[in-house]
Amino acid sequence: MSNEAESSSSFYPLLKTNSAMRTLMGKAGLLGTMSVAFGSMFWSQRKTESEPSASDSPSSDSDPGSSYELKLVQVLFRHGARTPLKSIPDVMEAQWVPTLLEPPPHTHMNYTVTDLQGGPRPPAPVEDSYRKNILSGGTFPGQLTTLGMQQLYELGQRLRRKYIEDRPFLSPAYIPAEVYVRSTNIVRTIESAKCLVAGLFQQKQNEAVPILTTEAENEILYPNYHGCKLLKILCSHRWAESTTLPDIAADLRSIQSALGISAHQHVDFILIRDDMVARETHGLPNPPVLNSWKNTVEQRAVDMMYHIYDPSKKENLQLCVGPLLHVLWENIERKLQGSSSLSHRKLFLYSVHDTTLIPCLMALGIFDMRWPPYAADISLELHRNKQTNEAFVKVSYAGKDQLIPGCSGVYCPLQEFKQVLLTHSLSSDLYQSRCNTTQSRTEL
Protein backbone atom coordinates (compact mmCIF):
# COMPACT_ATOMS: atom_id res chain seq x y z
CA MET A 1 0.00 0.00 0.00
CA SER A 2 1.44 3.34 -0.98
CA ASN A 3 2.36 6.06 1.51
CA GLU A 4 0.93 8.81 -0.67
CA ALA A 5 -2.27 10.35 0.46
CA GLU A 6 -4.10 9.48 -2.70
CA SER A 7 -2.07 6.83 -4.41
CA SER A 8 -4.96 4.46 -3.99
CA SER A 9 -7.84 6.88 -3.81
CA SER A 10 -8.58 10.17 -5.28
CA PHE A 11 -11.04 11.34 -7.66
CA TYR A 12 -13.51 13.97 -7.41
CA PRO A 13 -16.22 15.65 -9.26
CA LEU A 14 -16.48 19.32 -9.89
CA LEU A 15 -17.77 21.41 -7.05
CA LYS A 16 -19.53 23.33 -9.76
CA THR A 17 -19.29 23.74 -13.53
CA ASN A 18 -19.84 27.38 -14.33
CA SER A 19 -19.27 29.41 -17.45
CA ALA A 20 -15.79 30.48 -16.37
CA MET A 21 -14.76 26.85 -16.03
CA ARG A 22 -16.22 25.95 -19.40
CA THR A 23 -14.24 28.81 -20.94
CA LEU A 24 -11.08 27.46 -19.33
CA MET A 25 -11.85 24.02 -20.65
CA GLY A 26 -12.19 25.39 -24.14
CA LYS A 27 -8.90 27.28 -23.90
CA ALA A 28 -7.15 24.16 -22.65
CA GLY A 29 -8.29 22.30 -25.74
CA LEU A 30 -10.42 19.76 -23.92
CA LEU A 31 -12.05 17.15 -26.08
CA GLY A 32 -15.55 15.86 -25.80
CA THR A 33 -18.48 17.27 -23.96
CA MET A 34 -19.22 17.34 -20.26
CA SER A 35 -21.60 14.64 -19.13
CA VAL A 36 -24.93 16.14 -18.19
CA ALA A 37 -25.28 13.91 -15.17
CA PHE A 38 -22.00 13.03 -13.48
CA GLY A 39 -22.97 10.67 -10.68
CA SER A 40 -20.63 12.42 -8.26
CA MET A 41 -21.94 15.85 -9.18
CA PHE A 42 -25.50 14.71 -8.47
CA TRP A 43 -24.37 13.48 -5.08
CA SER A 44 -22.93 16.88 -4.33
CA GLN A 45 -26.04 18.66 -5.55
CA ARG A 46 -28.39 16.47 -3.53
CA LYS A 47 -26.32 17.08 -0.43
CA THR A 48 -26.52 20.82 -0.93
CA GLU A 49 -30.26 20.76 -1.56
CA SER A 50 -31.05 18.56 1.44
CA GLU A 51 -28.58 20.05 3.90
CA PRO A 52 -30.38 21.47 6.94
CA SER A 53 -29.76 25.09 7.72
CA ALA A 54 -27.96 26.02 10.90
CA SER A 55 -31.22 26.98 12.57
CA ASP A 56 -29.87 26.07 15.98
CA SER A 57 -26.91 28.44 15.72
CA PRO A 58 -26.97 31.15 18.38
CA SER A 59 -26.79 33.93 15.84
CA SER A 60 -26.10 34.67 12.21
CA ASP A 61 -22.34 34.84 11.88
CA SER A 62 -22.63 37.30 9.00
CA ASP A 63 -24.59 39.75 11.15
CA PRO A 64 -22.27 42.59 12.26
CA GLY A 65 -24.39 42.94 15.40
CA SER A 66 -23.82 39.30 16.30
CA SER A 67 -22.90 38.54 19.89
CA TYR A 68 -20.26 36.13 18.60
CA GLU A 69 -16.79 37.24 17.60
CA LEU A 70 -14.77 35.15 15.15
CA LYS A 71 -11.29 34.47 16.52
CA LEU A 72 -9.70 31.79 14.32
CA VAL A 73 -10.31 29.85 11.10
CA GLN A 74 -8.64 26.58 10.09
CA VAL A 75 -9.28 25.09 6.64
CA LEU A 76 -8.35 21.62 5.40
CA PHE A 77 -8.88 21.50 1.65
CA ARG A 78 -8.34 18.97 -1.05
CA HIS A 79 -6.44 19.90 -4.18
CA GLY A 80 -8.24 20.58 -7.43
CA ALA A 81 -8.90 18.41 -10.48
CA ARG A 82 -5.89 16.55 -11.77
CA THR A 83 -4.67 13.92 -14.18
CA PRO A 84 -5.33 10.35 -13.03
CA LEU A 85 -2.80 8.45 -10.93
CA LYS A 86 -3.21 5.37 -13.14
CA SER A 87 -5.19 4.59 -16.26
CA ILE A 88 -7.70 1.76 -16.35
CA PRO A 89 -5.80 -1.03 -18.14
CA ASP A 90 -6.98 -2.58 -21.40
CA VAL A 91 -9.45 0.21 -22.26
CA MET A 92 -9.34 3.15 -24.64
CA GLU A 93 -6.84 5.78 -23.49
CA ALA A 94 -7.74 9.39 -22.79
CA GLN A 95 -5.32 11.98 -24.12
CA TRP A 96 -3.84 13.95 -21.21
CA VAL A 97 -2.13 16.64 -23.24
CA PRO A 98 0.08 19.42 -21.77
CA THR A 99 -2.40 22.16 -22.75
CA LEU A 100 -4.65 20.82 -19.98
CA LEU A 101 -2.13 22.06 -17.42
CA GLU A 102 -1.71 25.72 -18.41
CA PRO A 103 -2.03 28.02 -15.35
CA PRO A 104 -4.67 30.78 -15.66
CA PRO A 105 -2.96 34.19 -15.33
CA HIS A 106 -5.05 35.20 -12.32
CA THR A 107 -3.64 32.27 -10.32
CA HIS A 108 -0.04 33.47 -10.63
CA MET A 109 1.46 34.50 -7.31
CA ASN A 110 4.87 35.02 -5.73
CA TYR A 111 5.48 32.14 -3.31
CA THR A 112 8.24 29.99 -1.84
CA VAL A 113 8.21 26.38 -0.63
CA THR A 114 10.16 25.62 2.54
CA ASP A 115 10.37 23.00 5.26
CA LEU A 116 8.54 23.63 8.52
CA GLN A 117 11.47 25.63 9.89
CA GLY A 118 11.81 27.84 6.82
CA GLY A 119 14.71 25.89 5.30
CA PRO A 120 14.95 24.37 1.81
CA ARG A 121 12.10 22.26 0.51
CA PRO A 122 12.67 18.58 1.44
CA PRO A 123 13.04 15.85 -1.19
CA ALA A 124 9.73 14.61 -2.59
CA PRO A 125 9.89 10.84 -3.26
CA VAL A 126 6.15 10.60 -3.96
CA GLU A 127 6.37 13.29 -6.60
CA ASP A 128 9.47 11.61 -8.05
CA SER A 129 7.50 8.37 -8.40
CA TYR A 130 4.93 10.13 -10.59
CA ARG A 131 7.66 11.31 -12.95
CA LYS A 132 8.60 7.71 -13.73
CA ASN A 133 5.39 7.27 -15.73
CA ILE A 134 3.85 9.21 -18.61
CA LEU A 135 0.14 9.16 -19.43
CA SER A 136 -1.13 8.93 -22.98
CA GLY A 137 -0.91 12.49 -24.32
CA GLY A 138 2.40 13.30 -22.66
CA THR A 139 1.68 14.45 -19.10
CA PHE A 140 2.56 12.86 -15.77
CA PRO A 141 0.09 11.22 -13.37
CA GLY A 142 -1.37 13.26 -10.53
CA GLN A 143 -0.80 16.74 -12.00
CA LEU A 144 -3.07 19.68 -11.19
CA THR A 145 -4.89 20.83 -14.32
CA THR A 146 -6.07 24.24 -15.48
CA LEU A 147 -9.53 23.33 -14.25
CA GLY A 148 -8.15 22.24 -10.87
CA MET A 149 -6.30 25.53 -10.51
CA GLN A 150 -9.51 27.43 -11.22
CA GLN A 151 -11.40 25.37 -8.64
CA LEU A 152 -8.94 26.32 -5.89
CA TYR A 153 -8.92 29.94 -7.01
CA GLU A 154 -12.71 29.96 -6.63
CA LEU A 155 -12.45 28.38 -3.19
CA GLY A 156 -10.11 31.25 -2.29
CA GLN A 157 -12.68 33.71 -3.61
CA ARG A 158 -15.35 32.08 -1.43
CA LEU A 159 -13.13 32.47 1.62
CA ARG A 160 -12.47 36.08 0.64
CA ARG A 161 -16.18 36.86 0.49
CA LYS A 162 -16.75 35.21 3.86
CA TYR A 163 -13.76 36.49 5.83
CA ILE A 164 -12.85 39.78 4.13
CA GLU A 165 -15.82 41.22 2.24
CA ASP A 166 -18.80 40.09 4.34
CA ARG A 167 -16.99 40.65 7.63
CA PRO A 168 -13.68 42.38 8.36
CA PHE A 169 -11.82 39.41 9.82
CA LEU A 170 -8.76 39.10 7.56
CA SER A 171 -6.83 41.97 6.03
CA PRO A 172 -7.68 42.54 2.33
CA ALA A 173 -4.04 42.00 1.35
CA TYR A 174 -1.78 39.16 2.44
CA ILE A 175 -0.08 39.73 5.81
CA PRO A 176 2.35 36.97 6.90
CA ALA A 177 1.53 37.33 10.60
CA GLU A 178 -2.14 36.52 9.93
CA VAL A 179 -1.93 33.53 7.60
CA TYR A 180 -0.18 30.16 7.86
CA VAL A 181 -0.07 27.88 4.80
CA ARG A 182 1.03 24.25 4.94
CA SER A 183 0.88 21.59 2.22
CA THR A 184 1.88 18.02 1.66
CA ASN A 185 5.12 17.89 -0.31
CA ILE A 186 3.45 17.08 -3.61
CA VAL A 187 3.25 19.51 -6.52
CA ARG A 188 -0.53 19.40 -6.97
CA THR A 189 -1.21 20.30 -3.32
CA ILE A 190 1.45 23.01 -3.31
CA GLU A 191 0.01 24.52 -6.50
CA SER A 192 -3.51 24.23 -5.07
CA ALA A 193 -2.46 26.17 -1.98
CA LYS A 194 -0.96 28.85 -4.24
CA CYS A 195 -4.14 29.14 -6.29
CA LEU A 196 -6.33 29.37 -3.19
CA VAL A 197 -4.19 32.16 -1.72
CA ALA A 198 -4.29 33.97 -5.08
CA GLY A 199 -8.09 33.88 -4.98
CA LEU A 200 -8.22 34.82 -1.31
CA PHE A 201 -6.02 37.89 -1.58
CA GLN A 202 -6.44 38.68 -5.30
CA GLN A 203 -2.66 38.71 -5.78
CA LYS A 204 -2.34 41.58 -3.28
CA GLN A 205 0.97 40.94 -1.52
CA ASN A 206 4.22 42.72 -0.80
CA GLU A 207 6.31 39.59 -0.33
CA ALA A 208 6.43 35.94 -1.29
CA VAL A 209 3.94 33.70 0.48
CA PRO A 210 5.72 30.82 2.26
CA ILE A 211 4.11 27.41 1.77
CA LEU A 212 5.48 25.05 4.40
CA THR A 213 5.92 21.31 3.96
CA THR A 214 7.85 18.44 5.47
CA GLU A 215 9.64 15.23 4.51
CA ALA A 216 7.50 12.22 3.64
CA GLU A 217 8.41 10.10 6.68
CA ASN A 218 7.15 12.80 9.09
CA GLU A 219 4.04 13.89 7.20
CA ILE A 220 0.86 14.09 9.29
CA LEU A 221 -1.40 15.63 6.64
CA TYR A 222 -2.39 12.20 5.32
CA PRO A 223 -2.39 8.64 6.70
CA ASN A 224 1.34 7.92 6.62
CA TYR A 225 1.88 4.23 5.90
CA HIS A 226 5.64 4.59 5.49
CA GLY A 227 6.11 6.74 8.57
CA CYS A 228 3.89 4.59 10.84
CA LYS A 229 4.72 0.89 10.95
CA LEU A 230 1.54 -0.17 12.76
CA LEU A 231 -0.72 1.80 10.41
CA LYS A 232 0.88 0.08 7.43
CA ILE A 233 0.22 -3.32 9.01
CA LEU A 234 -3.39 -2.52 9.88
CA CYS A 235 -4.35 -0.82 6.61
CA SER A 236 -2.45 -3.17 4.29
CA HIS A 237 -4.45 -6.06 5.73
CA ARG A 238 -7.75 -4.21 5.44
CA TRP A 239 -6.90 -2.97 1.95
CA ALA A 240 -6.30 -6.51 0.70
CA GLU A 241 -9.43 -7.67 2.49
CA SER A 242 -11.61 -4.93 0.97
CA THR A 243 -11.36 -6.33 -2.55
CA THR A 244 -12.40 -9.79 -1.39
CA LEU A 245 -15.62 -8.79 0.37
CA PRO A 246 -18.38 -10.78 -1.39
CA ASP A 247 -20.43 -7.92 -2.90
CA ILE A 248 -17.35 -5.89 -3.91
CA ALA A 249 -15.58 -8.92 -5.39
CA ALA A 250 -18.64 -9.98 -7.40
CA ASP A 251 -19.16 -6.49 -8.83
CA LEU A 252 -15.45 -6.20 -9.62
CA ARG A 253 -15.48 -9.45 -11.60
CA SER A 254 -18.52 -8.23 -13.52
CA ILE A 255 -17.08 -4.83 -14.41
CA GLN A 256 -13.73 -6.34 -15.43
CA SER A 257 -15.59 -8.61 -17.80
CA ALA A 258 -17.77 -5.79 -19.12
CA LEU A 259 -14.74 -3.57 -19.75
CA GLY A 260 -12.69 -6.40 -21.23
CA ILE A 261 -9.95 -6.09 -18.62
CA SER A 262 -7.72 -9.15 -18.53
CA ALA A 263 -8.11 -11.32 -15.46
CA HIS A 264 -4.40 -10.98 -14.62
CA GLN A 265 -4.61 -7.18 -14.38
CA HIS A 266 -4.75 -5.84 -10.83
CA VAL A 267 -7.60 -3.34 -10.66
CA ASP A 268 -10.03 -2.24 -8.00
CA PHE A 269 -12.92 0.19 -7.78
CA ILE A 270 -10.75 3.00 -6.42
CA LEU A 271 -8.43 2.82 -9.44
CA ILE A 272 -11.38 2.67 -11.83
CA ARG A 273 -13.08 5.61 -10.15
CA ASP A 274 -9.91 7.67 -10.23
CA ASP A 275 -9.57 7.44 -13.98
CA MET A 276 -13.33 7.63 -14.63
CA VAL A 277 -13.92 10.82 -12.64
CA ALA A 278 -10.76 12.49 -13.91
CA ARG A 279 -11.97 11.94 -17.47
CA GLU A 280 -15.54 13.07 -16.77
CA THR A 281 -14.37 16.19 -14.98
CA HIS A 282 -12.26 17.26 -17.96
CA GLY A 283 -14.75 16.28 -20.65
CA LEU A 284 -12.63 13.39 -21.91
CA PRO A 285 -14.33 10.21 -23.14
CA ASN A 286 -14.80 7.16 -20.93
CA PRO A 287 -15.37 3.65 -22.27
CA PRO A 288 -19.12 3.71 -23.12
CA VAL A 289 -19.81 0.63 -21.00
CA LEU A 290 -18.83 2.61 -17.89
CA ASN A 291 -21.98 4.73 -18.20
CA SER A 292 -24.13 1.94 -16.77
CA TRP A 293 -21.56 1.19 -14.07
CA LYS A 294 -21.00 4.73 -12.83
CA ASN A 295 -23.10 4.56 -9.67
CA THR A 296 -21.77 1.13 -8.76
CA VAL A 297 -18.18 2.31 -9.15
CA GLU A 298 -18.91 5.30 -6.89
CA GLN A 299 -20.60 3.16 -4.24
CA ARG A 300 -18.02 0.36 -4.21
CA ALA A 301 -15.08 2.76 -4.05
CA VAL A 302 -16.60 4.38 -0.96
CA ASP A 303 -17.39 0.95 0.50
CA MET A 304 -13.73 0.01 0.11
CA MET A 305 -12.51 3.15 1.84
CA TYR A 306 -15.00 2.69 4.66
CA HIS A 307 -13.71 -0.82 5.21
CA ILE A 308 -10.05 0.27 5.09
CA TYR A 309 -10.44 3.10 7.63
CA ASP A 310 -13.24 1.39 9.60
CA PRO A 311 -14.41 4.18 11.94
CA SER A 312 -15.72 1.57 14.39
CA LYS A 313 -12.08 0.81 15.21
CA LYS A 314 -10.83 3.90 17.04
CA GLU A 315 -7.16 3.04 16.64
CA ASN A 316 -7.37 3.14 12.83
CA LEU A 317 -8.55 6.74 12.76
CA GLN A 318 -6.12 7.73 15.52
CA LEU A 319 -3.17 6.52 13.46
CA CYS A 320 -4.59 8.03 10.24
CA VAL A 321 -5.35 11.57 11.44
CA GLY A 322 -4.67 11.68 15.19
CA PRO A 323 -1.56 13.90 14.92
CA LEU A 324 -3.38 16.31 12.57
CA LEU A 325 -6.38 16.59 14.91
CA HIS A 326 -3.94 17.28 17.76
CA VAL A 327 -2.40 20.16 15.78
CA LEU A 328 -5.83 21.63 15.05
CA TRP A 329 -6.64 21.54 18.77
CA GLU A 330 -3.26 23.07 19.69
CA ASN A 331 -3.97 25.96 17.31
CA ILE A 332 -7.27 26.58 19.12
CA GLU A 333 -5.60 26.47 22.55
CA ARG A 334 -2.84 28.87 21.50
CA LYS A 335 -5.39 31.33 20.21
CA LEU A 336 -7.38 31.19 23.44
CA GLN A 337 -4.28 31.50 25.64
CA GLY A 338 -2.56 34.12 23.49
CA SER A 339 0.73 32.73 24.73
CA SER A 340 2.88 32.53 21.61
CA SER A 341 3.66 34.29 18.36
CA LEU A 342 1.40 31.79 16.58
CA SER A 343 -1.52 33.04 18.67
CA HIS A 344 -1.65 36.08 16.35
CA ARG A 345 -2.54 33.86 13.39
CA LYS A 346 -6.09 34.26 12.15
CA LEU A 347 -6.08 31.66 9.38
CA PHE A 348 -4.43 28.25 9.06
CA LEU A 349 -4.61 26.67 5.60
CA TYR A 350 -3.77 22.99 5.05
CA SER A 351 -3.57 21.69 1.48
CA VAL A 352 -4.32 17.96 1.64
CA HIS A 353 -5.94 14.98 -0.08
CA ASP A 354 -9.08 12.90 -0.25
CA THR A 355 -7.46 10.38 2.06
CA THR A 356 -7.09 13.18 4.60
CA LEU A 357 -10.65 14.45 4.40
CA ILE A 358 -12.36 11.05 4.56
CA PRO A 359 -10.85 9.92 7.89
CA CYS A 360 -11.24 13.45 9.30
CA LEU A 361 -14.94 13.39 8.42
CA MET A 362 -15.20 9.94 10.00
CA ALA A 363 -13.47 11.13 13.18
CA LEU A 364 -15.88 14.07 13.38
CA GLY A 365 -18.84 11.74 12.83
CA ILE A 366 -20.03 13.50 9.66
CA PHE A 367 -18.85 11.25 6.81
CA ASP A 368 -21.89 10.87 4.55
CA MET A 369 -20.64 7.89 2.49
CA ARG A 370 -20.00 10.15 -0.48
CA TRP A 371 -16.61 10.81 -1.99
CA PRO A 372 -15.40 14.36 -1.31
CA PRO A 373 -15.20 16.43 -4.50
CA TYR A 374 -12.14 18.17 -5.84
CA ALA A 375 -11.46 21.31 -3.78
CA ALA A 376 -13.76 20.18 -0.95
CA ASP A 377 -12.92 21.79 2.38
CA ILE A 378 -13.45 21.21 6.08
CA SER A 379 -13.42 24.50 8.01
CA LEU A 380 -13.16 24.94 11.77
CA GLU A 381 -14.11 28.36 13.15
CA LEU A 382 -13.39 29.43 16.73
CA HIS A 383 -15.92 31.96 18.08
CA ARG A 384 -16.15 33.85 21.37
CA ASN A 385 -19.42 35.00 22.94
CA LYS A 386 -18.98 38.71 23.57
CA GLN A 387 -21.24 38.67 26.64
CA THR A 388 -20.11 35.51 28.41
CA ASN A 389 -16.62 35.12 26.90
CA GLU A 390 -17.44 31.45 26.26
CA ALA A 391 -15.77 29.77 23.28
CA PHE A 392 -17.53 27.80 20.54
CA VAL A 393 -16.34 25.89 17.49
CA LYS A 394 -18.33 25.71 14.25
CA VAL A 395 -17.47 23.09 11.64
CA SER A 396 -18.45 23.31 7.98
CA TYR A 397 -17.88 20.90 5.11
CA ALA A 398 -17.91 22.10 1.50
CA GLY A 399 -19.42 25.38 2.71
CA LYS A 400 -22.26 23.79 4.71
CA ASP A 401 -22.47 24.01 8.52
CA GLN A 402 -22.39 20.64 10.26
CA LEU A 403 -23.91 19.42 13.51
CA ILE A 404 -21.17 17.31 15.06
CA PRO A 405 -22.33 14.27 17.06
CA GLY A 406 -21.53 15.01 20.70
CA CYS A 407 -22.16 18.73 20.25
CA SER A 408 -25.30 20.43 21.56
CA GLY A 409 -25.50 22.78 18.56
CA VAL A 410 -23.88 23.82 15.30
CA TYR A 411 -21.98 26.31 17.45
CA CYS A 412 -20.36 23.63 19.61
CA PRO A 413 -19.32 24.62 23.16
CA LEU A 414 -15.55 24.34 23.40
CA GLN A 415 -15.47 21.55 25.98
CA GLU A 416 -17.88 19.46 23.94
CA PHE A 417 -15.78 19.93 20.82
CA LYS A 418 -12.63 19.10 22.76
CA GLN A 419 -14.11 15.75 23.76
CA VAL A 420 -14.98 15.03 20.11
CA LEU A 421 -11.41 15.76 18.96
CA LEU A 422 -9.67 14.06 21.87
CA THR A 423 -11.40 10.79 21.01
CA HIS A 424 -9.10 10.42 18.02
CA SER A 425 -6.28 12.96 18.46
CA LEU A 426 -2.75 11.83 19.34
CA SER A 427 0.19 13.92 20.51
CA SER A 428 3.40 13.52 18.52
CA ASP A 429 5.06 11.42 21.23
CA LEU A 430 2.08 9.11 21.66
CA TYR A 431 1.72 8.75 17.89
CA GLN A 432 5.37 7.75 17.51
CA SER A 433 5.09 5.31 20.39
CA ARG A 434 2.03 3.63 18.85
CA CYS A 435 3.51 3.62 15.35
CA ASN A 436 6.67 1.86 16.45
CA THR A 437 4.80 -1.15 17.75
CA THR A 438 3.67 -3.94 15.45
CA GLN A 439 0.66 -5.03 17.46
CA SER A 440 -2.71 -3.32 17.59
CA ARG A 441 -3.93 -2.27 21.01
CA THR A 442 -7.15 -4.15 20.29
CA GLU A 443 -5.08 -7.34 20.06
CA LEU A 444 -3.24 -6.85 23.35
pLDDT of residue 12: 33
Spatial separation of the C-alpha atoms in residues 224 and 355, rounded to whole Å: 10
Q: What's the pLDDT at 161? A: 98
Please give the backbone phi and psi of residue 347, each rounded to the nearest 5 degrees, phi first: -140, 125
Vertex 304 angle, CA 263 and 40, to 5°? 100
- In terms of Cα–Cα distance, which of 103, 270, 85, 74 is closest to 186? 85
The class level of CATH for 19-51+69-237+308-443 reads alpha beta
At 246 the pLDDT is 93
For residue range 175-233, what is the model confidence (pLDDT) as tens digits?
999 999 999 999 999 999 999 999 999 988 889 999 999 999 999 999 999 999 999 99
Residue 149 neighbours by CB under 8 Å, 6+ apart: 80, 103, 104, 107, 191, 192, 195
Question: 80-94, 228-242, 337-351: lowest mean pLDDT where?
Answer: 337-351
| Positions marked active-site | 79, 354
Answering whether pTM is above 0.85, one says yes
User: Rounded to whole angstroms, what are the CA distances from 205 to 11, 22, 155?
Assistant: 33, 29, 18
Confidence of residue 442 (pLDDT cuts 50, 70, 90): low
In angstroms, rounded to a whole number, what is the distance separating the alpha carbons of residues 183 and 351?
A: 5
- Reported as a pLDDT band with limits 50, 70 and 90, residue 16 is very low
Phi, psi of 193 (to 5 degrees): -60, -40
pLDDT at 168: 93
Quote the DSSP letter at residue 6. T
Is residue 8's pLDDT more than 70?
no
